């Protein structure tokens, strides 16, 4: 079914369900979906591979189960010594045993990837986005890496060793023999330059927010040793260096070409070098044959922008690309039976959320915000809209993380409570505008908006869906011309600090722009400040539970679900997707058959 036909069918059905509640919404969604494949269990880093050819069997690679309760007692401080591997000037040691698997030896001319969006900048610290993570990962390296193939362990990257010398200080030994993609050597000067511009709070850099790197200084001790000093005790310092925005950039090259040129002509130490940047169309990379982790399996890599679902699916089925990203669940039935394709599904470390604007009436009323939240039936969205390919959350947290609380209840749906709150809050049928991108930036973004507005109407909320192109949505938010907007939160450090604080704390736009009013956020901020300045894991667990309670009480926004990202992949490609949007095409994770 084409996108337009699917939307038209939804619109025809809306009138019949406007006042009928969740059951009718379920029927609306089911009428527009297709058959879906069985997927993996909902562990955070589980990957399900469903072969679509005749007779192919489903295989599941599972990770360790999530913790089900709070830490039993005050845990020991965060580990202070990283995994060690010896540095060498000619053949640097591999990052970890699981990430060091030899390449197949076969190299193809080009790998083509169809994507729903491309980043406006190739500066990995300027704009942190889902689409940026995917593309930046092939061009740049971080000091520490997460081994997604082995329980998300922290392993050596551009640093071979790290240790804490006190609660606020981390020293690293860098990998020798690494060169930038132009052949110049990588040294501690590059590391210092990268983080100095973050510490200087360059306003162009999203990663300069203290929510990313609360650093006081970085010192180059010699060519291959660096020392980081935090502004305070930081329980997740090591994880930050393996997370979002932690990619190292070249000091001399960046100074030579300048910030503006670097956006489209970047230079990294990663396995692919950008050679062609065509905005709003495609980015093409060539293989870095001198990559310290081994040359990748494709000579050329192209990310092709194909925002429309139907066109993206046509590209993968017609052989125009080898990988298609952001496959909606209702497309799975169309991919079945194609012997040259496999479908891979992974629960994301990314949550679809809604953000509210308290500057606009009636969203300044906490009772109205709570009602808007309670009126959303997330179970129906995950089961019917997503066909089970999304996870109903237990509040704002991610399963599989050390501080996950499995005893926390599922995010509540209570239409009777919503009606009561609206009455108590004096809601007078004011329009509440829900804005999202069209075409979808988030998979099922438009479809979820259509369903949620119907759910609101069923409890007496005058919901209005406004579909806008990305730039127009950004302007609507800047002009406070909305009430509810789509957003997402990524668990970039596999710790609540990476989303409860980074996305919703005082350094993020939600508070800085006044969408979350300062008085409403005061208690939340105090709890977060304490949680991110202690190494006691039990205390941190308790503080984050209180933050979750405060978030749900003040309702500056709400969680929807954690999607399971679906990829369509040619059988000639051996590649495993990760729980983040990182598209890892290094030799240990991408092979040509």
Task: Determine contact, residues 564/379, Cβ cutoff 8 Å.
Answer: no
pLDDT, position 211: 76
**HSE-CB for 217 with a 13 A CA cutoff:** 5
Contacts of 394 (CB under 8 A, 6+ apart): 405, 406, 408, 409, 410, 411
Q: Which stretches of 191-312 are assigned E, i.e. beta strand?
A: 215-222, 225-230, 272-278, 282-287, 298-305
Task: Give first-to-last CA distance, the chain, whole Å.
Answer: 32
> Tokens 């804005």 belong to which residue?
435
> Tokens 């050390």 belong to which residue?
402
Q: Residues 243, 290, 256, 279: what is their CA dihedral angle, to the nearest 10 degrees?
A: -70
Task: Determine contact, residues 158/175, Cβ cutoff 8 Å.
Answer: yes
List the alpha helices (DSSP H) in 356-503: 366-374, 378-380, 415-424, 445-459, 470-478
Per-residue tens of pLDDT for the chain, all 593 residues: 333 333 333 433 343 333 445 555 554 554 444 333 333 333 333 344 444 433 333 322 333 333 323 333 223 333 334 433 333 223 344 556 566 655 457 899 999 999 999 999 999 999 788 899 999 999 999 999 999 988 889 999 999 999 999 999 999 999 999 999 999 999 999 999 999 999 998 888 888 877 789 999 999 999 999 999 999 999 999 999 999 899 999 999 999 999 999 999 999 999 999 999 999 999 999 999 999 999 999 999 999 999 999 999 999 999 999 999 999 999 998 898 899 999 999 999 999 999 999 999 999 999 999 999 999 999 999 999 999 999 999 999 999 899 999 999 999 999 999 999 999 999 999 999 999 998 888 889 999 999 999 999 999 999 999 999 989 999 999 999 999 999 999 998 999 999 999 999 998 889 999 999 999 999 999 999 999 999 999 999 999 999 999 999 999 999 999 999 999 999 999 999 999 999 999 999 999 99
CA 328 to chain CA mean position, Å: 17
Task: Determine contact, residues 185/203, Cβ cutoff 8 Å.
Answer: no
Q: What is the DSSP string of 81-126?
A: B-------SSSPPPS-TGGGPPP-S--EEEEEEEES---S---TTT
Q: How far apart are CA 170 and CA 166, in angstroms?
A: 7
Q: How far apart are CA 251 and CA 179, in angstroms?
A: 13
| Rounded alpha-carbon distances, angstroms, from residue 584 to 61, 99, 152 | 17, 11, 14
Structure tokens at 305: 């922008």
- State pTM to two decimals: 0.79
Task: Give the other-Cβ count within 10 Å of 91's Cβ.
Answer: 9
Q: Are strands 341-347 and 484-490 parallel, antiparallel or unpaired?
A: unpaired
**HSE-CB for 543 with a 13 A CA cutoff:** 23
Looking at residue 290, the DSSP 8-state letter turns out to be: T
Contacts of 374 (CB under 8 A, 6+ apart): 412, 413, 414, 415, 417, 418, 421
Task: Determine contact, residues 350/580, Cβ cutoff 8 Å.
Answer: yes
> Tokens 């479908």 belong to which residue?
343
> Tokens 């710790």 belong to which residue?
495
Q: How far apart are CA 30 and CA 35, in angstroms?
A: 10
| Rounded alpha-carbon distances, angstroms, from residue 79 to 238, 439, 541, 543 | 9, 44, 17, 21
**HSE-CB for 64 with a 13 A CA cutoff:** 11
Q: How far apart are CA 354 and CA 455, in angstroms?
A: 15
Q: How far apart are CA 593 and CA 107, in angstroms?
A: 9
> Which secondary structure element, helix H or strand E, spans residue 147, and what is its range?
strand 144-147
> In 3D, which of 418, 499, 412 has the Cα closest to residue 457?
418
User: Where on the phi/psi map is residue 89: left (φ > 0), alpha (ψ -120 to 50), or beta?
Assistant: alpha
Q: Are strands 144-147 and 431-437 parallel, antiparallel or unpaired?
A: unpaired
Structure tokens at 45: 């880093």
Looking at residue 104, the DSSP 8-state letter turns out to be: -
Q: What is the DSSP string of 128-146?
A: --HHHHHHHTTT--BSEEE
Q: 3-class DSSP state for residue 489?
A: strand
Q: 3-class DSSP state for residue 490?
A: strand
Q: Which stretches of 260-391 are assigned E, i.e. beta strand?
A: 272-278, 282-287, 298-305, 323-324, 341-347, 350-356, 390-391
Angle at 380 (CA atoms; ends 569, 27), nearest 5 degrees: 95
> In 3D, which of 456, 479, 459 has the Cα closest to residue 417?
459
């Amino acid at each position: 079914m084409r996108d337009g036909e699917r939307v038209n069918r939804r619109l025809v059905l809306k009138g019949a369900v406007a006042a009928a509640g969740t059951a009718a919404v379920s029927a609306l969604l089911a009428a527009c979906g297709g058959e879906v494949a069985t997927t993996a269990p909902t562990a955070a880093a589980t990957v399900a591979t469903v072969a679509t050819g005749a007779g192919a069997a489903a295989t599941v690679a599972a990770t360790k189960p999530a913790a089900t309760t709070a830490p039993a007692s005050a845990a020991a401080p965060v580990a202070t010594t990283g995994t060690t591997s010896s540095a060498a000037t000619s053949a640097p040691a591999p990052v970890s045993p699981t990430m060091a698997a030899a390449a197949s030896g076969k190299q193809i001319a080009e790998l083509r990837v169809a994507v729903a969006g491309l980043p406006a900048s190739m500066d990995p610290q300027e704009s942190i986005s889902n689409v940026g993570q995917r593309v930046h990962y092939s061009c740049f390296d971080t000091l520490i890496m997460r081994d997604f193939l082995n329980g998300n362990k922290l392993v050596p990257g551009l640093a071979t060793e790290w240790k804490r010398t006190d609660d606020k200080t981390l020293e690293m030994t860098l990998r020798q023999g690494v060169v930038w993609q132009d052949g110049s050597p990588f040294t501690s000067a590059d590391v210092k330059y990268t983080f100095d511009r973050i510490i200087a709070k360059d306003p162009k850099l999203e990663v300069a927010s203290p929510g990313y790197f609360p650093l006081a200084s970085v010192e180059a001790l010699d060519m291959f040793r660096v020392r980081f000093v935090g502004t305070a005790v930081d329980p997740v310092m090591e994880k930050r260096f393996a997370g979002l925005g932690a990619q190292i950039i070249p000091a001399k090259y960046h100074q030579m070409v300048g910030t503006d040129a670097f956006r489209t002509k970047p230079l990294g130490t990663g396995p692919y070098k950008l050679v062609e940047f065509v905005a709003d169309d495609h980015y093409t990379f060539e293989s870095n044959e001198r990559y310290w982790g081994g040359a990748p399996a494709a000579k050329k890599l192209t990310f092709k922008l194909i925002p429309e679902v139907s066109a993206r699916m046509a590209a993968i089925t017609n052989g125009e690309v080898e990988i298609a990203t952001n496959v909606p669940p209702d497309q799975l039935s169309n991919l079945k039976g194609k012997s040259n394709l496999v479908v891979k599904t992974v629960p994301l470390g990314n949550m679809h959320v809604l953000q509210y604007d308290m500057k606009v009436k009636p969203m300044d009323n906490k009772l109205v915000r709570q009602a808007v939240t309670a009126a959303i039936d997330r179970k129906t969205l995950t089961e019917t809209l997503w066909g089970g390919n999304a996870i109903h959350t237990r509040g704002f947290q991610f399963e599989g993380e050390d501080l996950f609380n499995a005893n926390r209840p599922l995010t509540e749906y209570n239409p009777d409570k919503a009606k009561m709150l609206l009455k108590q809050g004096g809601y007078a049928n004011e329009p509440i505008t829900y804005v999202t991108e069209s075409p979808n930036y988030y998979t099922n973004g438009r479809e979820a908006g259509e369903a949620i507005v119907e759910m609101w109407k069923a409890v007496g909320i005058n919901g209005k869906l406004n579909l806008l192109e990305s730039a127009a949505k950004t302007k609507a938010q800047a002009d406070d011309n909305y009430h509810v907007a789509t957003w997402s939160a990524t668990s970039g450090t596999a710790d609540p600090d990476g989303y409860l604080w980074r996305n919703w704390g005082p350094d993020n736009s939600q508070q800085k722009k006044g969408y979350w009013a300062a008085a409403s956020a005061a208690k939340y901020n105090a709890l977060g400040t304490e949680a991110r300045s202690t190494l006691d894991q039990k205390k941190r667990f308790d503080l984050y539970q209180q933050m979750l309670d405060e978030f749900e009480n003040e309702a500056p926004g709400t969680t929807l679900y954690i999607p399971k990202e679906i990829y369509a992949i040619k059988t000639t490609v051996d590649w495993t997707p990760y729980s983040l949007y990182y598209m890892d095409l290094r030799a240990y994770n991408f092979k040509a058959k």
